[in-house]
């Protein structure tokens, strides 16, 4: 194998240093040296070169009780800016950040209930948030929108999202690019939750997993070899449309021919199941929390709910045989380890793989967080030549000086 040219080695080392600074924040020269494996003079030359190119900046000093204070170096956040959005039928949760991930502005904007004006209102809300950050949209390097349903890559139309009126029948990413005058990517919201779990949650070291979103809506994300499976039309994981039987012991009047999974696991139907077990609550996740607090008295309801969840997951697990099933969303989070254990027990009655089931770890708004990581990965690829893997925890290896 021929040795790499000096220019190629410099580029490799430069990217390794930038990636380390992006993942770990401001560092001293000696810390950068330890991570990328260069000599002290080579690391000093690298940082000087990156500073001259505008890629890094001096970011204060780190002092100690003894000896001189050390210069800190950081990636120049002003090189690129991104926007991440969690789009729902009622509002848009928007965040603006620089290329380091530092938050510059955020806003939750109410949206009209459908109609042609909803797209314009959305674009206006994004522009207002960008202006709040002291920017204009054409300064944006990447905009990622997390949306229910999925965009067909052939025509840009949003599918599988009847609960998002006003967004159908046109090239959704194309229209938003025109309105914002910026690069726009639209990604399925549950896929973004799976991405966030790969970056900062339970799936950081998992190659193949299935994430089930249980909330007002139902959805799934399928990850194979740490890549999202989107399908030919973007509809991979849209399990809410499957028709399934109800295996719950309690009779809630569901037709023997089965029911759409999205209805079976929707909040109104889960509340009906809870009432059949003597529990009253205002939504599905409240019913689950109440059942867990009730101890043995709440177990029959949780078991029936686990049977319903396992019925919906069984087909995916049988085909994919993942390493892990994750339960996300308000209902999944409310169930915690107890509900996951019950789902695993019921699932193993239905399929051959003995797949473990666990709750997701990411809290807050995982859709917006996943959209932000996706937007940052796209921006860093454009600006620094880093691959999307740079969004994952840094695992750099030493480079020859």
Residue range 43-80, pLDDT digits in tens: 999 999 999 999 999 999 987 666 678 999 999 999 99
3-class secondary-structure state, position 257? coil
What single-letter DSSP state applies at residue 13?
H
- Taking only the tens place, the pLDDT of each residue in 148-161 is 999 999 999 999 88
Give the chain's residues under pLDDT 50.
1-2, 389-401
Instruction: Report pLDDT for 394.
Output: 28
Other C-beta atoms lying within 10 Å of the C-beta of residue 268:
10
pTM: 0.91
Alpha-carbon span 299 to 306, nearest angstrom = 10
Instruction: Report pLDDT for 67.
Output: 65
What single-letter DSSP state applies at residue 181?
T
- 177 phi and psi angles, rounded to 5 deg: -65, -40
Alpha-carbon span 212 to 343, nearest angstrom = 12
Beta bridge pairs of residue 185? 144
Alpha-carbon span 138 to 327, nearest angstrom = 38
Alpha-carbon span 122 to 124, nearest angstrom = 5
Query: Across the chain, which distance is largest between two alpha carbons, in Å?
Result: 78
- 10 Å CB burial of residue 25 (0-12, 13-18, 19+) is middle
Alpha-carbon span 137 to 139, nearest angstrom = 5
Question: Of all helices (H) and strands (E), which one includes residue 244?
Answer: strand 243-244
Closest CA to 317 of 288, 286, 287, 354: 354
Closest CA to 83 of 51, 109, 110: 109
Structure token pair of residue 260: 């759409």
- 295 phi and psi angles, rounded to 5 deg: 65, -130
- 10 Å CB burial of residue 361 (0-12, 13-18, 19+) is middle
Closest CA to 261 of 283, 284, 239: 239
Other C-beta atoms lying within 10 Å of the C-beta of residue 161:
21
Alpha-carbon span 398 to 367, nearest angstrom = 34
How big is the CA angle at 89 (ends 88 and 91), to the nearest 5 degrees? Answer: 60
Closest CA to 160 of 174, 175, 148, 172: 148
């Amino acid at each position: 194998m021929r040795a790499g040219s000096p220019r190629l080695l410099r580029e490799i080392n430069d990217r390794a240093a930038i990636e380390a600074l992006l993942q770990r924040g401001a560092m001293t020269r000696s810390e950068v040296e330890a991570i990328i494996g260069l000599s002290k003079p080579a690391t000093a030359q690298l940082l000087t070169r990156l500073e001259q190119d505008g890629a890094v900046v001096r970011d204060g000093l780190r002092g100690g009780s003894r000896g001189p204070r050390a210069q800190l170096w950081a990636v120049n956040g002003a090189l690129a800016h991104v926007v991440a959005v969690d789009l729902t039928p009622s509002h848009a949760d928007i965040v603006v950040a620089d290329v380091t991930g530092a938050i510059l502005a955020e806003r939750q904007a109410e949206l009209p209930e459908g109609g042609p004006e909803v797209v314009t209102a959305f674009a206006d809300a994004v522009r207002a948030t960008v202006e709040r950050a002291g920017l204009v949209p054409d300064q944006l390097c990447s905009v990622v929108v997390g949306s229910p349903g999925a965009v067909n890559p052939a025509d840009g139309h949003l599918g599988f999202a009847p609960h998002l009126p006003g967004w159908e029948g046109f090239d959704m990413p194309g229209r938003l690019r025109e309105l914002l005058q910026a690069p726009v990517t639209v990604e399925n919201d549950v896929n973004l939750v799976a991405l966030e779990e790969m970056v900062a949650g339970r799936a950081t070291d998992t190659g193949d997993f299935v994430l089930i979103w249980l909330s007002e809506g139902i959805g799934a994300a399928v990850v194979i070899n740490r890549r999202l499976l989107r399908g030919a039309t973007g509809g991979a994981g849209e399990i809410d449309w499957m028709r399934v039987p109800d295996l719950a012991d309690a009779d809630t009047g569901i037709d023997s021919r089965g029911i759409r999974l999205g209805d079976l696991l929707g909040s109104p139907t889960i509340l009906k199941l809870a009432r059949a077990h003597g529990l009253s609550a205002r939504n599905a996740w409240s019913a689950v929390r109440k059942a867990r607090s009730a101890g043995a008295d709440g177990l029959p309801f949780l078991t029936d709910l686990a049977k319903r969840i396992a019925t919906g997951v069984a087909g995916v697990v049988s085909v994919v045989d993942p390493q892990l099933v994750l339960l996300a969303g308000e209902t999944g989070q409310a169930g915690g380890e107890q509900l996951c254990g019950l789902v695993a027990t019921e699932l193993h009655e239905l399929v051959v793989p003995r797949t473990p089931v666990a709750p997701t770890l990411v809290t807050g708004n995982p859709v917006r967080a996943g959209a932000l990581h996706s937007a940052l990965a796209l921006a860093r690829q454009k600006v620094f030549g880093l691959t999307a893997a740079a969004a994952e925890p840094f695992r750099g290896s030493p480079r020859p000086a």
